[in-house]
Amino acid sequence: MYYGGQSAAAAVEAVYRAESRRVLATLIRLLGDFDRAEEALHDAFAAALQQWPREGVPGNPRAWLVSAGRFKAIDALRRRARFDASLRLLAEQLEGEADKTELDEVEDDRLRLIFTCCHPALPADARVALTLRAVCDLTTEEIARAFLAAPATIAQRIVRAKARIRDAHISYRVPEREELPARLDSVLRVIYLVFNEGYSASAGPALTRADLSAEAIRLGRLLLELLPDAEVMGLLALMLLHDARRAARTDAAGDLVRLEEQDRSVWDRRQIDEGLQLVRRALTSPAPGAYALQAAIVAVHAEVESAEQTDWAQIVRLYDVLLGLSPSPVVELNRAVAVAMRDGPAAGLELVDELLARGDLHDYHLSHAARADLLRRLGRITEAREAYRAALQLVRLEPERRFLQRRLEELE
């Protein structure tokens, strides 16, 4: 089918939105270098803008772009070969290899790209930045805004990550079965870190970044589509169930609304239903993992119509299992809050005080905020004020700071 110039340009833009990450993933496989593949991607779409208005949009735009990008890269290598003889050899090698662009191969390329960006040999912050850039197509400026960093800092992380992949000869592949558990865990951690930064930002004026959480959910869906693992189901369920409450987490002024005070009628029931189905599938696997258990805890909240109906005994039991599987002070803190809801604030306070006495979570504002709330409920007002002040010294997110300040002012 042939298009006029304007329609063809619109088609190029639509194909870019739908296919550019797939094309980039395949070009990275074919060319063996992130920067070379990104340059080839740019050249391929530039060629499309020139040729498609005259010749029409090809029947398989993705294959056309991969082929165009590959040959543009070979031409570029040949032009530079007069300065570097090794580039001539590389160009000849690339030209001699088969151009594999079958659908299954391309889908595998997307999975390879995720595992490469999240390789455990890369620093954690570099994994996140490279994943958002290469897989999600966020700009350096968008990533910098999301993590309250300078664009130059994010750019350096991405450059260093690419150099590390190149210099360490990190394989662009899906790990073998025996390697998969450790490597998959790294991928899931990166995706959940991206989600959490969008769902509950670590600092700044806004509580949430919907676009960042949406990118993490999109990655989770992609990973589940390509790798139907129980822990992938658990992570996607966890993100969907959390994100379903987004509209109720803040009021019109942008202030924090506690879970028990949220208007549950505005929760996204479609996302909740999808999340609950995934939780059930994940929990019926032979050995449910930490993400599946966390999703099951969130599901207990999502299944009831009011906070008063929450089955806190079941939540405590789930935390017990989670602690046995993946012990951490944060999980202990969350379990302590659940125990307080089941057995009363004194029981929860004892557990929180034990945590703080060990030195765990001393610099974590939520541990002091939880302690302050339990002291408030026990009527120990002077101690509650001190705990709220300790939390305020540590909090970095403005809506949380305002919430804690209001609580403190109520007691004063």
Calpha distance 412→407 (Å, rounded): 9
In the chain, how many H helices and how many E strands?
19, 0
Q: Which two tokens stand for residue 303?
A: 């299944």
Quick: pLDDT tens for 392-409. 999 887 888 999 999 999
Cα angle vertex 181, ends 177, 184, to 5°?
105
Mean pLDDT of 81-85: 56
Quick: pLDDT tens for 228-282. 889 999 999 999 999 999 989 888 887 888 999 999 999 999 999 999 999 999 9
Using the predicted structure, report yes or no on whether residue 85 has a pLDDT greater than 70.
no
Least confident of 16-30, 91-105, 172-186, 321-335: 91-105
When comparing pLDDT for 115 and 387, which is higher? Answer: 387
Q: Give kind and range of the element (H or E) at residue 16.
A: helix 5-31
Using the predicted structure, report yes or no on whether residue 317 has a pLDDT greater than 60.
yes
Using the predicted structure, report yes or no on whether residue 216 has a pLDDT greater than 50.
yes
Calpha distance 336→358 (Å, rounded): 15
What pTM does this model have?
Answer: 0.76
> Rg for the chain (alpha carbons), in Å?
25
What is the per-residue DSSP string for 241-256? HHHTTGGGSB-TTS-B
Using the predicted structure, report yes or no on whether residue 219 has a pLDDT greater than 70.
yes
Cα angle vertex 93, ends 90, 99, to 5°?
120
Q: Give kind and range of the element (H or E) at residue 308.
A: none
Contacts of 302 (CB under 8 A, 6+ apart): 241, 244, 245, 267, 272, 275, 276
What is the per-residue DSSP string for 145-164? HHTT--HHHHHHHHHHHHHH
Would you state the pLDDT for residue 3?
Answer: 42
Using the predicted structure, report yes or no on whether residue 374 has a pLDDT greater than 90.
yes
Calpha distance 199→213 (Å, rounded): 6
Average pLDDT, the chain: 86
Using the predicted structure, report yes or no on whether residue 391 has a pLDDT greater than 90.
yes
Mapping DSSP to helix (H, G, I), strand (E, B) and coil, where does residue 204 land? strand
CB atoms within 10 A of CB 1: 8
Contacts of 64 (CB under 8 A, 6+ apart): 48, 58
Quick: pLDDT tens for 99-131. 444 444 545 687 788 888 888 889 988 988 898
Calpha distance 368→387 (Å, rounded): 5
Calpha distance 385→407 (Å, rounded): 9
Calpha distance 202→196 (Å, rounded): 8
Using the predicted structure, report yes or no on whether residue 349 has a pLDDT greater than 90.
yes
**End-to-end CA, the chain:** 73
Calpha distance 211→260 (Å, rounded): 26
Calpha distance 71→77 (Å, rounded): 10
Please report, for residues 50, 74, 335, the alpha-carbon distance to residue 43 in angstroms, rounded to integers and kept in the order given.
Answer: 11, 12, 54
Using the predicted structure, report yes or no on whether residue 322 has a pLDDT greater than 70.
yes
Mean pLDDT of 71-95: 63
Mean pLDDT of 321-329: 94
Calpha distance 26→70 (Å, rounded): 10
Would you state the pLDDT for residue 93?
Answer: 53
